[in-house]
């Protein structure tokens, strides 16, 4: 049984019945007064009496029409709980004609101890009673199962103010209740399925960052939804993430994926989808798969391969490069000596000098490609600046780096992946976009890094070719690998913008004691004042 506002149809019907009842009562009183006057008069007005009786019949017919045309079940009972009148809807609900009920006791036909107690309480107190979605089983029709009803029981008072009967109105809400029960059962089944999934599932409302639903895996791994908002539970922050993935999913209407490390140290590959449910604000459905072991193995491979790349690059630079430089020096001396002697082999020696110089340059270029980012904190900025200069020199396309605030990274692996993303985006722009200008932007806000490569070329094709599509997939893979996300889109003013967003791991906030003994550190690392400004 649930409490809810009365059904508007029932309210209107009760108002109509009450109005008509008052009208009938007034007519009856007037008719009684006129009859009394007629009995005292030596010459009764027969015509007027017939008119009064006709008016009463018309009012009675109007009441019956109201009874019979509503879909609400209506019954009028006397103080002994016998039926005085029912409408056709009430009668047909049990397969009878309205006259069948007249004079019969309600609880002889529909025995129910609880309901009978309610009826007698209304007779005793004169106070109306309402109930919603009350279950009822037809004794004569067990095949119907449990039905549900909104019903109202109101006392009818006579001229002296005494209860003279009861007006019962019923509204069948069985289908509504069964539909809701079916939906609830379906939801319970869905929740049972979600709770046995190996990954976490969460519904997040980006308007207030609350977690509206979380499966058992989320609770076990991250925490209970009521214990905090998404950024508090997942990233242990006191403020929302500067670059919120959920808000971006709702803004674009597209899915997004990234990797995140939760406070327990586990790494999850997350996919997020826009989620809309009637009656609820727009939300984002996040599904995370534990890739901790995969990430560990992958990182080992990356670290090993990067170390090997750096070793080879360093060897090329320090060993082969130095030897080629020495060879060039010897060839230069030889060419000069042969020229002084007038030897015909002087030209050959000079060619050896050129070859040695080109080989040395190639060795340095290969070394740069193998380890493009210096291990220093400012290495990423230096590498991107060099990338912009080389692009402008090789392709004749103006390419600049815009990094006014300075971005310093302590992790060479992150810096290297960000560099390769920028390098691939620049190469794609040159190969497929026919741009007149390329801008590489690097910025940091809080613990969020944003890398953007913009061009003013033709823009993304409707269907990227295999080569361009492969480049985009590689960039997205690199972004996910370092816990970021990547998006490529047409610019409103023309051209393409490739944006990579990386939320750096957020350290746990210091305790009060730690705060007292440590000096506040700036959120955004400041650029070394001795370094030249990039912009």
* Separation in Å, CA 235 to CA 116, 200, 242, 264, 446: 60, 15, 12, 10, 14
Question: Domain limits of the chain?
Answer: 8-173, 197-290, 376-535
CATH number of the structural domain 8-173:
3.30.450.20
* pLDDT tens per residue across span 390-436: 899 989 999 999 998 888 887 877 888 899 899 999 998 998 888 99
Mean pLDDT over residues 273-300, rounded?
87
Other CB atoms within a 10 A radius of the CB of residue 117 amount to 9
* pLDDT tens per residue across span 193-209: 888 888 999 999 988 88
What is the per-residue burial (b if ≥16 Cβ within 10 Å, else e) of 16-47?
Answer: ebeeebeebeebeeeeeebeeeeeeeeeeeee
| 17/64 Cα distance (integer angstroms) | 10
Among the ranges given (204-213, 352-361, 500-509), the one the predictor scored with the smallest mean pLDDT? 500-509
pLDDT at res. 526: 37
* pLDDT tens per residue across span 366-385: 766 666 666 567 788 888 99
Rg (CA), the chain: 43
* Equal CATH topology for 197-290 and 376-535: no
| 218/395 Cα distance (integer angstroms) | 50
pLDDT at res. 123: 95
* pLDDT tens per residue across span 424-478: 999 989 988 889 999 999 998 888 899 999 999 988 776 666 655 788 888 988 8
| 398/391 Cα distance (integer angstroms) | 8
- Which is it for the CA torsion 84, 89, 91, 93, positive or negative? negative
For the cut 50, the answer to whether the pLDDT of residue 520 exceeds it is no
**Residue 103 burial (10 A CB sphere; 0-12, 13-18, 19+):** exposed
For the cut 60, the answer to whether the pLDDT of residue 527 exceeds it is no
Contact 399, 411 (CB under 8 A): no
**Local structure of 159: helix, strand or coil:** coil
Output 255 or 516, whichever has higher pLDDT: 255
pLDDT at res. 512: 38
For the cut 60, the answer to whether the pLDDT of residue 54 exceeds it is no
* pLDDT tens per residue across span 147-187: 999 989 999 998 888 999 999 999 999 999 999 999 889 88
* pLDDT tens per residue across span 209-251: 899 999 999 999 999 988 888 888 888 888 888 778 888 888 8
Contacts of 291 (CB under 8 A, 6+ apart): 259, 267, 268, 269
pLDDT at res. 516: 42
**What stretch of H or E contains 106?**
helix 106-109
CATH architecture of 197-290: 2-Layer Sandwich (3.30)
Residue ranges with strand state E in 27-159: 73-77, 83-86, 129-137, 146-157
Mean pLDDT over residues 96-115, rounded?
92
Whole-number average pLDDT of the chain: 79
For the cut 90, the answer to whether the pLDDT of residue 327 exceeds it is no
Among the four given CATH numbers 3.30.450.90, 3.40.50.2000, 3.40.640.10, 3.30.565.10, the one describing domain 376-535 = 3.30.565.10
């Amino acid at each position: 049984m649930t409490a809810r506002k009365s059904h508007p149809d029932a309210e209107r019907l009760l108002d109509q019945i009450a109005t008509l009842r008052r009208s009938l009562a007034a007519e009856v009183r007037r008719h009684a007064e006129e009859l009394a006057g007629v009995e005292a008069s030596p010459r009764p007005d027969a015509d007027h009496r017939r008119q009064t009786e006709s008016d009463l019949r018309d009012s009675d017919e109007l009441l019956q029409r109201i009874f019979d045309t509503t879909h609400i079940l209506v019954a009028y009972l006397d103080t002994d709980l016998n039926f005085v009148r029912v409408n056709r809807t009430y009668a047909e609900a049990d397969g009878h004609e309205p006259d069948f009920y007249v004079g019969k006791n309600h609880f002889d036909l529909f025995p129910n101890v609880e309901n009978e107690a309610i009826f007698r309480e209304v007779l005793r107190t004169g106070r109306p009673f309402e109930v919603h979605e009350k279950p009822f089983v037809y004794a004569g029709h067990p095949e119907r199962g449990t039905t549900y009803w909104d019903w109202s029981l109101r006392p009818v008072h006579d001229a002296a103010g005494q209860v003279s009967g009861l007006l019962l109105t019923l509204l069948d809400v069985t289908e509504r209740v069964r539909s809701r029960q079916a939906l609830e059962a379906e939801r319970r089944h869905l929740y049972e399925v979600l709770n046995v999934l190996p990954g976490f599932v969460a519904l997040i409302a980006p308007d207030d960052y609350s977690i509206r639903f979380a499966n058992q895996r989320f609770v076990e791994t991250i925490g209970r939804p009521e214990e905090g908002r998404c950024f508090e539970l997942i990233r242990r922050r006191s403020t929302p993430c500067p670059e919120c993935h959920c808000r971006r999913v709702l803004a674009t209407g597209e899915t997004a994926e990234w990797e995140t490390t939760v406070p327990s140290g586990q790494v999850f590959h997350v996919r997020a989808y826009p989620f809309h449910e009637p009656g609820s604000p727009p939300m984002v459905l996040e599904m995370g798969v534990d890739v901790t072991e995969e990430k560990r193995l992958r990182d080992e491979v990356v670290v090993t391969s990067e170390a090997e790349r750096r070793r080879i690059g360093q060897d090329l630079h320090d060993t082969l490069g130095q030897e080629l430089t020495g060879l060039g020096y010897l060839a230069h001396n030889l060419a000069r000596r042969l020229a002084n002697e007038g030897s015909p082999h002087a030209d050959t020696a000079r060619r050896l000098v050129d070859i040695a110089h080109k080989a040395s340059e190639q060795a340095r270029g290969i070394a740069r490609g193998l380890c493009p980012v210096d291990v220093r904190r400012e290495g990423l900025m230096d590498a991107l600046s060099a990338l912009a200069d080389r692009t402008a020199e090789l392709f004749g396309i103006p390419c600049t780096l815009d990094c006014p605030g300075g971005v310093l990274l302590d992790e060479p692996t992150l810096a290297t992946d960000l560099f390769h993303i920028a390098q691939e985006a620049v190469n794609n722009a040159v190969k497929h976009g026919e741009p007149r200008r390329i801008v590489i932007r690097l910025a940091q806000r809080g613990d969020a890094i944003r890398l953007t490569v913009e061009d003013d070329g033709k823009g993304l094709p409707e269907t990227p070719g295999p080569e361009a599509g492969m480049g985009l997939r590689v960039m997205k893979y690199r972004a996910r690998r370092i816990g970021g996300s990547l998006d490529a889109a047409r610019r409103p003013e023309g051209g393409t913008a490739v944006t990579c967003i990386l939320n750096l791991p957020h350290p746990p906030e210091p305790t009060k004691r730690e705060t007292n003994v440590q000096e506040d550190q700036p959120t955004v690392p400041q650029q070394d004042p001795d370094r030249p400004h990039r912009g």
